[in-house]
Amino acid sequence: MIADRLRRVQLRLAEACQRCGRDPTSVLLIGVTKGVESDRIAEAVRCGLADLGENRVQEARGKREALGLPGVRWHLIGHLQRNKSKPAVELFDTVHSVDSLELVEALERDAAARRKRLGVFVQVNISGEATKFGCSSAEAVPLARAVSQRSHLELAGLMTMAPLAEDPEAARPCFRGLRQVRNDVAAALSREASSLKLSMGMSHDFEVAVEEGADVVRIGTAIFKDQD
């Protein structure tokens, strides 16, 4: 049952926080609903899941229209093309995948048109994998500065995706790398590092991410996939 799986994830999250002396309530759990049926999403929300993450704008539109779900916060965690900026601003509270100045400008324009303030994470490709989106570590500071200078965008923090590996420990250098980039961005913008959240960690490696300072974890399989 989804309720049982969600409780197990929350317990694992709390145990990871305990190992590194963190308050479990300081870590936001986003339930990733890519490919998940609407009734299963509704069940998770009834069990207390308040933040949902979608990879695609069109899929999110269909689910929002079908479900309603007042009070739920919607996060875009997949790659966003500039030509989808307008519906993204309409549908989501936060976009975790901003990786270019052109996208920053498009989101600012569309958020201004809706008189909306949009949360933004700058996506950084720490691993350098060609198959992953995100700006380089060197580009993170100027891109974060550009976001912070826009009137209708709020720089929430930085996001990354670690390489897939059987051993979750293999993701630790990537998470540490994002934490260092966060420190560099904070120093450049004269902000406290803690004011910039780290969105990192998924079903297979979120406990390592929490140990390395994740403030937001994005979990789909461990909540929604039936176990064999």
How do the pLDDT tens digits run along the chain, 228 residues long?
Answer: 899 999 999 999 999 999 999 999 999 999 999 999 999 999 999 999 999 999 999 999 999 888 888 889 999 999 999 999 999 999 999 999 999 999 999 999 999 999 999 999 999 999 989 889 999 999 999 999 999 999 999 999 999 999 988 999 999 999 999 999 999 999 999 999 999 999 999 999 999 999 999 999 999 999 998 754
Question: Can you tell me the distance from the alpha carbon of 31 to that of 71, in angstroms, rounded to the nearest whole number?
Answer: 15
Cα Rg, the chain, nearest whole Å: 17
- Strand, coil or helix: what is 94? strand
H helix or E strand, kind and range, residue 97: strand 94-98
Does residue 79 contact residue 71 with C-beta atoms inside 8 Å? no
Q: Which residues pair with 155 in a beta bridge?
A: 120
The domains located in the chain, with CATH, are: 53-210 (3.20.20.10)
pTM surpassing 0.85? yes
Q: What is the pLDDT of residue 228?
A: 44
The counts of H helices and E strands in the chain are 9, 8
Alpha helices in 133-196 (DSSP H): 137-148, 172-188
For tokens 């400008």, the residue is 105
For 197, residues 6+ apart whose C-beta sits below 8 A from its C-beta are: 28, 121, 156, 157, 158, 215, 216
Task: Check residue 227 and give its pLDDT.
Answer: 58
Structure tokens at 69: 């779900």
d(CA 202, CA 217): 6
Is residue 181 a contact partner of residue 221, using CB atoms and an 8 Å limit? no
d(CA 147, CA 122): 8
Q: Contact at 8 Å (CB) between 157 and 194?
A: no
